[in-house]
Amino acid sequence: MMMEILPPPLAQAIAARGYEELTPVQAAVIAEEAQGRDLLVSAQTGSGKTVAFGLAMAGDLLGDAPMLSAPGRPQALVIAPTRELALQVAKELSWLYGPARGRIATCVGGMNQSVERRTLSAGAHIVVGTPGRLRDHLERGALLLDQCKVVVLDEADEMLDMGFREDLEEILDAAPPSRRTLLFSATMPKGIAELARDYQKDALRLATAGRSTAHADITYQCVAVSPADIEAAVVNLLRFHEPPTALLFCATRDNVRRLHASLTERGFAAVALSGEHSQSERNQALQALRDRRARLCVATDVAARGIDLPGLSLVIHVEIPRDAETLQHRSGRTGRAGAKGTAVIVVPYQARRRVERMLGGAGVKAEWVKVPTAEAIHAQDRDRLLVSIGEGIGALDDEDKRLGEELLTRHGVDEIAAALVRTHRARMPQVEELVDAGQPMARERPQAGERRVSNDRTGSGRGGHDEGGGHSSGHSQGGNQGGGGVWFRLDVGRRQNADPRWIIPLLCRRGGVTKPDIGSIRILPSETLVEIAPDMAERFLVALKRHATRQGRSAEDQIAIEPAGGPPAPRPPRPPLQARPHAPRRPPHRGA
């Protein structure tokens, strides 16, 4: 235990916070070999990095003094990639340096610059900010770094990925050459190595997050679903786990908006975080999560960076992370500081192999499970109801008991108990029925005697044209092209530039089918007829009806798809080719 070597004010703050011992990264940065040196630290999200670099800079700020001197020009600078993370860091450093009378200033995008300039002119011991805003204050002369003793780059890999390298270099160049530079990064890509080489001197490399223990507190699960079932799968996962707080990741702000609206409509208490929200709206959303007015947060990767929410036990990757690093950063929002958490990846079944490769690259072992069924969710509801009622019995007061006795005089015990159960269930969002409950990884290979036809009548991969100028693309299973499939009509045709290259992905997304389930495609002047495998037609229709109730605003969402009522009329036979009469040969021309 290394608490004894901490400066007394910081030891007091640590003890008041309930720490019994330091985390590995915190102990590493205050070890004797790390004293006074530049540090290049690799540590997992949630390992106590903020307190770690707060402890690492204590010797530079306090020295042997019991308290910090009067605030003036900043002695330490902390740079973070997002405003949420910067504000979280400032909050952590405030309690850590509170007993030492430390003053912390923040400079982040979305805040009033005039207020920040006044705060800087009033003096601060530590400044925490985002790269762009810090550079702006630096260029305007509001931020002076001539007395800065320590510069910390938190989540340095993320800042490089976000394109902040030029800002970081200008800020580091403005700090005195004698300063210490501490780089904290979950991963160590080539860009971090270059930054360390250019701006650190004899840096000590500390790696406290080995692959074998990086995910020990997080249980990873994958659920393979039809693309049309992604939203329904998310609903059932939330209903099954019923987490105190959950974080749901989407790739774009449009998808955040759409999923947030859908969950709210279903009765979930949810907030949204994305780049389109102002700082005030973000603060309100986070506060709603902290005081439990909301339980779910739907967010993009950047907006959720640095969020530390109490009781966050579930992370759902609604859209697949772009790489292994993003998977780790997202999932690291749960399983923090020794708490247990669950991270679930919702995988369209055609993307399963890609996800398995990503998991291998991240050193993660995930269990492939099915989406919770209605029966499993209702069983969980029964267990939770019995527990919650049992816990509530001990908190009854006399008025509660009198009202209970009055109810017993009017109704039987069975009726009251049933009404209690119904009231409990009425508060819960409805469980979703999945279109594709089987969760296949892909369509089965054709059995003996079956055949699959390529995307044209000739099997050559080139599309043909029917007699009306329409394109006919055969893509069928089990002989569907010969009329055995079910036909649907799209209200776009050749005049609207209909083409199988975008029609097939549209059908897969909207109808929850895969490419082998689609048979012939006939593109006519103002409409398109498509053939769906008979064993998938009913599922396809259910998915279409579901989409119609949640139709979006994009151009693709406005395309109507409906049953065609039968196969298209057969094409009339082509007239036989007529022999062309031969022209009489001309004698060869001879020059004079």
List, for residues 123-174, the tens digit of each pLDDT value. 999 999 999 999 999 999 999 999 999 999 998 887 887 788 999 999 999 9
Q: Per the domain annotation, does 393 fall within a domain?
A: no
pLDDT at 289 over 80: yes
pLDDT at 420 over 50: yes
- The angle that helices 83-96 and 49-56 make with each other, rounded to 10 degrees, is 60
pLDDT at 347 over 50: yes
Could you tell me if 215 and 185 are in contact, meaning their C-beta atoms sit under 8 angstroms apart? no
Q: Are residues 161 and 73 in the same domain?
A: yes
Find tokens 């306090």 and name the residue. 62
pLDDT at 82 over 50: yes
Q: Which of 110-124, 422-436, 495-509, 541-555 has the highest mean pLDDT?
A: 110-124
Q: Of all helices (H) and strands (E), which one includes residue 114?
A: helix 113-122
Please report, rounded to a whole number, the percentage of residues in the chain having pLDDT higher than 90: 35
Model pLDDT, residue 581: 59
Query: What residues pair up with 347 in beta bridges, in sequence order?
Result: 224
Q: Per the domain annotation, does 347 fall within a domain?
A: yes
Q: Are residues 513 and 476 in the same domain?
A: yes
Name the residue type at position 374: A
Q: Which of 355-359, 391-395, 571-575 has the highest mean pLDDT?
A: 355-359
- The residues, ordered by sequence, that sit 6+ positions from 51 with a Cβ below 8 Å of its Cβ are 14, 23, 26, 92, 96
Q: Six-digit token pair at 147?
A: 């007395």
pLDDT at 64 over 60: yes
pLDDT at 269 over 50: yes
Lowest average pLDDT, out of 177-181, 198-202, 340-344, 570-574, goes to 570-574
CB-CB neighbours of 23 under 10 Å: 18
Model pLDDT, residue 475: 43
pLDDT at 86 over 50: yes
More confident residue, 175 or 88: 175
Q: Which of 157-161, 198-202, 326-330 has the highest mean pLDDT?
A: 198-202
Model pLDDT, residue 39: 94
How many angstroms separate the CA atoms of 176 and 151, rounded? 10
Q: Answer with the one of 375, 403, 421 that is the final residue of a domain.
A: 375
Q: Are residues 476 and 537 in the same domain?
A: yes
Model pLDDT, residue 442: 39
Distance of CA 517 to the CA centre of its chain: 30
Q: Are residues 245 and 334 in the same domain?
A: yes
In this prediction, residue 468 has a pLDDT band, given cuts at 50, 70 and 90, of: very low
User: How much is the average pLDDT of 190-213?
Assistant: 78
Q: Are residues 170 and 277 in the same domain?
A: no
Q: Per the domain annotation, does 262 fall within a domain?
A: yes
Q: Are residues 222 and 354 in the same domain?
A: yes
Query: What residues pair up with 185 in beta bridges, in sequence order?
Result: 42
How many angstroms separate the CA atoms of 380 and 242, rounded? 9
In this prediction, residue 45 has a pLDDT band, given cuts at 50, 70 and 90, of: low
Q: Are residues 195 and 306 in the same domain?
A: no
The answer, as to whether pTM is greater than 0.75, is: no
Could you tell me if 545 and 510 are in contact, meaning their C-beta atoms sit under 8 angstroms apart? no
Q: Are residues 56 and 197 in the same domain?
A: yes
How many angstroms separate the CA atoms of 38 and 86, rounded? 21
Task: Please state the three-class secondary structure of 382-430 as a single string.
Answer: HHHHHHHHHHHHCCCCHHHHHHHHHHHHHCCHHHHHHHHHHHHHHCCCC
In this prediction, residue 546 has a pLDDT band, given cuts at 50, 70 and 90, of: confident
Q: Per the domain annotation, does 192 fall within a domain?
A: yes
Q: Are residues 229 and 340 in the same domain?
A: yes
Model pLDDT, residue 445: 37
Q: Could you tell me the CATH number of the domain that includes residue 552?
A: 3.30.70
| 99: DSSP letter | T
In this prediction, residue 390 has a pLDDT band, given cuts at 50, 70 and 90, of: low
Q: Are residues 85 and 156 in the same domain?
A: yes
Q: Could you tell me the CATH number of the domain that includes residue 306?
A: 3.40.50.300
More confident residue, 271 or 157: 271
Q: Are residues 122 and 184 in the same domain?
A: yes
In this prediction, residue 554 has a pLDDT band, given cuts at 50, 70 and 90, of: low
Torsional sign, CA 278, 280, 283, 287 = negative
Task: Find the domain containing 56 and state its range.
Answer: 3-207
User: How much is the average pLDDT of 306-313?
Assistant: 76
Model pLDDT, residue 464: 38
How many domains does the chain divide into?
A: 3
User: How much is the average pLDDT of 196-223?
Assistant: 77
Q: Answer with the one of 323, 350, 375 that is the final residue of a domain.
A: 375
Please report, rounded to a whole number, the percentage of residues in the chain having pLDDT higher than 70: 81
More confident residue, 533 or 387: 533
Model pLDDT, residue 366: 92
SS3 state at 91? helix
Q: Per the domain annotation, does 131 fall within a domain?
A: yes
- The angle that helices 413-426 and 374-393 make with each other, rounded to 10 degrees, is 120
Q: Per the domain annotation, does 568 fall within a domain?
A: no
In this prediction, residue 295 has a pLDDT band, given cuts at 50, 70 and 90, of: very high
Q: Per the domain annotation, does 430 fall within a domain?
A: no
- The residues, ordered by sequence, that sit 6+ positions from 57 with a Cβ below 8 Å of its Cβ are 76, 126, 149, 150, 152, 180, 182
Q: Which of 18-27, 110-119, 124-133, 506-515 has the highest mean pLDDT?
A: 124-133
Lowest average pLDDT, out of 62-76, 232-246, 378-392, goes to 378-392
Q: Six-digit token pair at 491?
A: 């209200």
User: How much is the average pLDDT of 40-50?
Assistant: 78
How many angstroms separate the CA atoms of 459 and 490, rounded? 24
Average predicted confidence (pLDDT) for the chain: 81
More confident residue, 188 or 502: 502
User: How much is the average pLDDT of 474-491?
Assistant: 63
Q: Per the domain annotation, does 395 fall within a domain?
A: no
Q: Are residues 161 and 109 in the same domain?
A: yes
Helix ranges, 427-533 (H):
500-511
pLDDT at 211 over 70: no
Q: Which of 171-185, 338-352, 467-481 has the highest mean pLDDT?
A: 171-185
Q: Answer with the one of 375, 393, 412 that is the final residue of a domain.
A: 375
Distance of CA 351 to the CA centre of its chain: 16
Model pLDDT, residue 212: 38
Model pLDDT, residue 514: 79
Q: Six-digit token pair at 245?
A: 């707080």
Q: What is the CA radius of gyration of the chain?
A: 32
CB-CB neighbours of 539 under 10 Å: 23
Q: Six-digit token pair at 340?
A: 């247990």
